[in-house]
Amino acid sequence: MAVKQPQSLQQTPLYDLHLELDARMVPFAGYQMPVQFEGVKAEHLHTRMAAGLFDVSHMGQVIVQGNNADEMLESLVPADLKDLPLNKQVYTQLLNTDGCIIDDLMIARLDNDCFSLVINAACKEKDLHWLRANLESLTIDEQNDKALLALQGPAAADVLADLFPESHPLKFMHACESRYDHVPVYITRAGYTGEDGFEISLPADKADSLARQLLAFHDVKAIGLGARDTLRLEAGLCLYGHDLDETTTPVSAALAWSIGKARRKDGARAGGFPGDKLILDEMDKGSATKRVGLHIEGRAPVREGAELVDEDHQCIGKVTSGGYGPSVEAPIAMGYVESPLAKQGLSLFAMVRGKALPVSVTTLPFVLHRYVK
């Protein structure tokens, strides 16, 4: 059986269930989290083929509300929030004054002047400080009494519809309210795997019951952080603190698509977010570096931190995420290179334990997204 971790780490509402399922627990972002149950590869492939249940209750859930909340929040992110419909969600970034990324997050409109934010676990403290320092007229409420579950994979829609029929008609990045055991829940059709899937926010004291109901379905298995990472890497999705940090802009991170059309140079509300001059200039002229996918020749994995060099062994970038992709049955990686070198098929080398391993620039994602749009 799994051994309980020191009490200095926080526990999610599913902690006891994880132990019951014999999870291997590890410290992660201040929490005791399951890294795997039956094995990363098996859990990864099960999610791609059926449905995986993820405990993501360590993520921060925040409610921001007040007069002109959309306009106020827009001053911190490059998304179009003023035109965001009710129960629609967007992916965006909190930016510092240099236009670099404090955190990436999801924002959903709950009401005219009320928004739900899902922020990264390791960034909660600094995000909340930044929000409160810049949105003094708004109410910012961290939802510590909430849990967050993610059900991902091609069987997720039918499974969830059995418990929440109103979830089935949702399209990607849309949301709905529902009820579970007489309490409200909020369901978004989104996720972090590249598969169709949902995230369910609900009161913490109901999370164990719902998780057990979902795991009772034949198609559903519990999935740990290990497979969550390999799934998101195959899907070409960024991990904050690795592929994104306060030295990267949305343009250099290949996230310019997430900048709202209304906030772009010729948009109705051009700019108006931190670092807007730099970011809009990068959209026109390009950034100094660019995030790219990397095809690895051979079977040796290339990990985060490996230098990328050209044929003259001059450093031209670095790997920010890397590992084995169970679905593609090969090592894969993402990293940053000098923008002129961000060309499909360009041959480079990754330095691994003093050896130059051949790699080539490739498009992302490695596995096509299967979102329902």
Flag whether 94 is in a domain.
no
**312 — pLDDT class (breaks 50, 70, 90):** very high
Phi, psi of 136 (to 5 degrees): -65, -30
pTM of the model: 0.96
Kindly state whether residues 228 and 294 are assigned to the same domain.
no
State residue 173's pLDDT score: 98
Phi, psi of 81 (to 5 degrees): -95, -25
Does pLDDT of 68 surpass 80? yes
The lowest-confidence range among 6-15, 164-173, 256-265, 344-353 is 6-15
Does pLDDT of 3 surpass 80? no
Give the tens place of pLDDT for each residue, 253-274: 999 999 999 999 999 999 999 9
**8 — pLDDT class (breaks 50, 70, 90):** confident
Q: Could you tell me how many helices (H) and strands (E) the chain has, helices first?
A: 8, 20
Q: At what angle do helices 204-215 and 156-163 cross, to 10 degrees?
A: 120
Sheet holding 146-152, edge to edge: 175-180, 183-188, 197-203, 146-152, 51-55, 220-223
Say which residue the tokens 């970038």 belong to: 317
- The rounded distance, in Å, linking the Cα atoms of 109 and 113 is 8
Strands 31-36 and 10-11: parallel
Kindly state whether residues 172 and 298 are assigned to the same domain.
no
Indicate which CATH number applies to the domain containing 14: 3.30.1360.120
Flag whether 251 is in a domain.
no
Kindly state whether residues 47 and 185 are assigned to the same domain.
yes
State residue 207's pLDDT score: 98
- 102-125 mean pLDDT: 97
Flag whether 307 is in a domain.
yes
**7 — pLDDT class (breaks 50, 70, 90):** low
Flag whether 165 is in a domain.
yes
Q: Is 271 left (phi over 0), alpha (psi -120 to 50) or beta?
A: left
Kindly state whether residues 322 and 190 are assigned to the same domain.
no
Does pLDDT of 6 surpass 60? no
**1 — pLDDT class (breaks 50, 70, 90):** very low
Kindly state whether residues 212 and 336 are assigned to the same domain.
no
Question: Which of 189, 204, 234 is where one domain is finished?
Answer: 234
Kindly state whether residues 198 and 331 are assigned to the same domain.
no
Flag whether 371 is in a domain.
yes
Kindly state whether residues 218 and 332 are assigned to the same domain.
no
Question: Which of 191, 207, 234 is where one domain is finished?
Answer: 234
Does pLDDT of 48 surpass 80? yes
Flag whether 30 is in a domain.
yes
Number of domains in the chain: 2
Kindly state whether residues 329 and 218 are assigned to the same domain.
no
Kindly state whether residues 149 and 228 are assigned to the same domain.
yes
Flag whether 17 is in a domain.
yes
Kindly state whether residues 14 and 162 are assigned to the same domain.
yes
Residue type (1 letter), 235: A
| Structural domain span for residue 343 | 288-373
Does pLDDT of 5 surpass 50? no
Flag whether 127 is in a domain.
no
What average pLDDT is seen over the chain?
Answer: 97
- 141-160 mean pLDDT: 98
Give the tens place of pLDDT for each residue, 210-249: 999 999 999 999 999 999 999 999 999 999 999 999 999 9
- 110-138 mean pLDDT: 97
Per DSSP, what are the bridge partners of residue 187?
Answer: 176, 200
Kindly state whether residues 42 and 160 are assigned to the same domain.
yes
Give the tens place of pLDDT for each residue, 174-219: 999 999 999 999 999 999 999 999 999 999 999 999 999 999 999 9
Q: Which residues contact 233 (CB under 8 A, 6 or more apart)?
A: 321, 322, 323, 325, 332, 334, 366
Kindly state whether residues 218 and 342 are assigned to the same domain.
no
Percent of the chain with pLDDT over 90: 98
Does pLDDT of 78 surpass 70? yes
Indicate which CATH number applies to the domain containing 356: 2.40.30.110
Percent of the chain with pLDDT over 70: 98
